[in-house]
Structure 1
Amino acid sequence: MTVRYRGTYTVKPETATWVGHLPLSELDQIGTITHVPNIYIFRPPPEWLHPVDAIFGTLRGSLSRVLVPFYPLAGRLRWLDGGRLRLDCNAMGVWFIEAESDGELNDLGDFCPRPEFEQIVPSVDYTMPIHELPPLLVQVTKFKCGGLALSASISHAVADGPSAAHFMTEWARLARGEPLGIEPYYDRKVLWVGEDPTGPLLPPPNLEHSEFDHPPLLIGHTSDLEQRKKKTTMVMLKLTKTQVETLKNAANKDRAGHHPRPYTRYETMSAHIWRCACKARKHKPEQPTTLCICVDARSRLRPSLKPGYFGNATFDVAAAGTSGELASSPLGCTSSKIREAIETVTHDHVRSAIEHIRRQPDLTMFQDLHALGSTQGLFYGNPNLGVVSWLTLLVYGLDFGWGREIHMGPGNHDFDGDCLVLPSLEEEGGLVVAVGLKIAHMEDFKKFFYEDIVD
């Protein structure tokens, strides 16, 4: 498949926007701070494909309009001391790349990210100074068959998953000629732990935060550098509604009495993925392992964050165990570990964590910098992993005027142990699990993933 780049444009907000420094919260500056690419695949009707520039023009024009309310995406990040970042809202614009391919959508198979995706996903050159890189890059690629790939790479330091989904939804609304649905809300003071908007000044609780500890290493290793160097691959594994229900039934059959509420799809699926990864990686029974769980704190804070809060309000916690324990215990026991970790994310826990981050002289060790070529920062590769849920995000139904997508998923997945759970587009109640693992472990993982779905 060959891709020809027609041009790269800088798209700026259509009208003047606020100019100044937008403070970033502590949650904006930890974890993944590089760009996260997502990809949407469409089959527009013929009338949208002629003239050839119709779709490109629609997207560029509506992008310029949506950048007015979402003006931080048209700004630039800047490094400060101690690994901290500042967002300059200066309307410098985003990059919009137009491309055409002589290939067809069928060449992309099941749309699982593979080397060919590098041509249809915006390339981010991290050798450039960060203040020259836009927080948003978009690439639109038209295929010979008439199909269309729209990929958006958004800086995770500016927006988390719910915020990115909000932006894409509003962009599509404006492209269809509709008004904005939910205004973005940027006031970071709601995440400032020095004051509680509902009452008098209170010191944040001083709680333990094991989620910020360096995850365990493989037994016999003194660093994770060797693991970081090994090549990874990715698969998109589909589960039918029946298979999902079978796993849920198996987990809840063994549910402990102190968990009266049934385990969710996410808790069950994460437990299943964690166990399969331990077995596929051939860990020793005594191998410590952690599962990183991303929890949306918006509704867990008091008061809840306003609808449209734009930034990072997701919070990582970790469940821990040993590989032998996970592999030999019922699925419900592993699900219980995940439930307990999620339930630690309370208002007080988040406030305490923000204060813990604020006190750090250097945030580098709390950041995922692998895309920048760094060997520092948190690492959730072997023997650990992370499972992110998109089950509650509005990731489907994106319509710019020519119909909804036929596929939506991650644009790349080059990190060992990075897993993503999405709802199925093919069957209500089904799931799609995107899994990134070392090449040496993937075939065994797929084998266990399906064979271990038993009542």
Structure 2
Amino acid sequence: MDVDEMNLFVTPLMVVQITTFECGGLALAISHAHPAMDGSTTFKIIYEWAKVCKFGTPCKDINFMNFNLGTFFPYKVLTTILEPPVDEANVKTLKLIARKFVFEEDSISRLKEKFDSVGEGLGFKPSRVEMITTLLWRSLIHSAGSNSYLKRSIMSFPINLCGKVATFPKIANSFGNLIIEIPIKFEHDDETKMEALHHNVKLIKESVQVIISKCVKTTSDEIVSLVIDLYKDSYAGLEWGGDNEVVNFTCSSLCRFPVQKTDFGWGEPSLMHFGSRHSQFEYI
């Protein structure tokens, strides 16, 4: 099967693989074309697909997503987005290693106590996603540096815009790709603050709030311009992986997505994993 991530004429929008095991178990794997679909769209399809199977919904009654994004965001040729060179040889030999870390309920409670004890001046209560993201990012920055020197770091934090843009209320259940990646930067002058958890979680919170506030009441052109600016900001001054002084991460979470309640009639899934071919950390 021909696959070209940037050519949707030869790349399937979605590929589904079902694997059955002798023990009676079943694994459902899904891969989607990101230029056409984001995680929210994929999870919505899986969740509604499961309900259709479980309850035997007639085809004529299946109508859970709108195909209206093209109305609000008409096709246009963008010439201002940076396009990094692709090292084909490196892509073919790239090997990714997955690690699974489990945060038990009592561990999260202790982490919350830690944030409460050091973050009296935060002015907000960090969510679980914000707390764990802070802990992971802090640990990764330390692991990429040394005891005496911490490298600069940019963490891309994807945000689902469905339901967050007041000027487009009809896109809450739209099929497509409507995410925006927020670059959150750790600079050299933040080294002395790195030990303070409240500094890092505040950095994440404020960076996200600034971008969301810009998207609440805006036009489609303004959103596109914002995406371009954030994209440039993420890679400004970097040599597309050649700069050893900057480490890049992407963090995303599946919390509050309906995919965890997916039930085809056999019960909810016992194990879920969200993978990627790119260097990043993701968790559920």
Give yes or no for TM over 0.5: yes
Mapping 1:280-299, distance limit 5 Å? 280-283=143-146, 285=149, 287-299=151-163
Task: Tell me how far apart the structure 1 counterparts of residues 2 and 113 of structure 2 sit (CA, whole Å).
Answer: 43
Query: Which residue of the partner structure matches residue 101 of structure 2?
Result: 237
Mapping 1:51-450, distance limit 5 Å? 125-126=3-4, 130-176=8-54, 177-178=56-57, 183-188=64-69, 191-192=72-73, 231-255=95-119, 257=121, 259-283=122-146, 285=149, 287-303=151-167, 305-306=169-170, 307-322=172-187, 325=191, 328-346=194-212, 348-349=214-215, 351=219, 352-355=222-225, 383-410=247-274, 412-416=275-279, 418-422=280-284
Is contact 1:301–1:347 with CA below 8 Å preserved after alignment? Answer: no
Change (3 A) 1:401 1:328: closer
Alpha-carbon offset, residue 224 of structure 1: 11
Q: Which amino acid aligns with 2:20?
A: K
Q: Which amino acid aligns with 2:187?
A: T
Alpha-carbon offset, residue 305 of structure 1: 3.4
Q: Which amino acid aligns with 1:315?
A: I
1:419-438 alpha-carbon deviations (Å, 9 max, x no partner)? 1121xxxxxxxxxxxxxxxx
Is contact 2:138–2:194 with CA below 8 Å preserved after alignment? Answer: no
**TM-score, scaled relative to structure 1:** 0.49
Alpha-carbon offset, residue 256 of structure 1: 5.9
Change (3 A) 1:128 1:153: same
Is contact 2:251–2:281 with CA below 8 Å preserved after alignment? Answer: yes
Change (3 A) 1:336 1:190: farther
Task: Specify every segment of 5 or more residues in structure 2 that has no aligned partner in the other structure, as ranges.
Answer: 75-80, 234-238
Alpha-carbon offset, residue 164 of structure 1: 0.7
1:233-270 alpha-carbon deviations (Å, 9 max, x no partner)? 1101001111112222222333363x422111111111
Aligned length: 259
Task: Tell me how far apart the structure 1 counterparts of residues 246 and 96 of structure 2 sit (CA, whole Å).
Answer: 11
Q: Look up the SS of the partner of 1:138 in the other structure.
A: strand
Change (3 A) 1:254 1:357: closer
Is contact 2:141–2:151 with CA below 8 Å preserved after alignment? Answer: no
Q: Which amino acid aligns with 1:331?
A: L
Q: Look up the SS of the partner of 1:184 in the other structure.
A: coil
Task: Tell me how far apart the structure 1 counterparts of residues 44 and 199 of structure 2 sit (CA, whole Å).
Answer: 35
Q: Look up the SS of the partner of 2:30 in the other structure.
A: strand
Change (3 A) 1:406 1:252: same
Alpha-carbon offset, residue 304 of structure 1: 5.2
Is contact 2:155–2:248 with CA below 8 Å preserved after alignment? Answer: yes
Is contact 1:163–1:311 with CA below 8 Å preserved after alignment? Answer: yes
Task: Tell me how far apart the structure 1 counterparts of residues 240 and 141 of structure 2 sit (CA, whole Å).
Answer: 24
Q: Which amino acid aligns with 1:397?
A: K
**TM-score, scaled relative to structure 2:** 0.75
Is contact 2:184–2:203 with CA below 8 Å preserved after alignment? Answer: yes
- Quote the sequence identity (%): 19
Q: Determine which structure has the larger strand proportion and give its number.
A: 1
Q: Which amino acid aligns with 2:143?
A: A
Alpha-carbon offset, residue 166 of structure 1: 0.8
Task: Tell me how far apart the structure 2 counterparts of residues 291 and 401 of structure 1 sit (CA, whole Å).
Answer: 39
Is contact 1:395–1:408 with CA below 8 Å preserved after alignment? Answer: no
Q: Look up the SS of the partner of 1:340 in the other structure.
A: helix
Task: Tell me how far apart the structure 1 counterparts of residues 6 and 194 of structure 2 sit (CA, whole Å).
Answer: 48
Is contact 1:140–1:149 with CA below 8 Å preserved after alignment? Answer: yes
Task: Tell me how far apart the structure 2 counterparts of residues 297 and 128 of structure 1 sit (CA, whole Å).
Answer: 22
Alpha-carbon offset, residue 358 of structure 1: 7.6
Alpha-carbon offset, residue 152 of structure 1: 1.1
Task: Tell me how far apart the structure 2 counterparts of residues 155 and 341 of structure 1 sit (CA, whole Å).
Answer: 28
Is contact 1:267–1:339 with CA below 8 Å preserved after alignment? Answer: yes
1:179-216 alpha-carbon deviations (Å, 9 max, x no partner)? 657621121256439xxxxxxxxxxxxxxxxxx8899x
1:336-389 alpha-carbon deviations (Å, 9 max, x no partner)? 000011101236347434135689xxx9x89xxxxxxxx979x9x961211101
Q: Determine which structure has the larger helix proportion and give its number.
A: 2
Task: Tell me how far apart the structure 2 counterparts of residues 326 and 175 of structure 1 sit (CA, whole Å).
Answer: 55
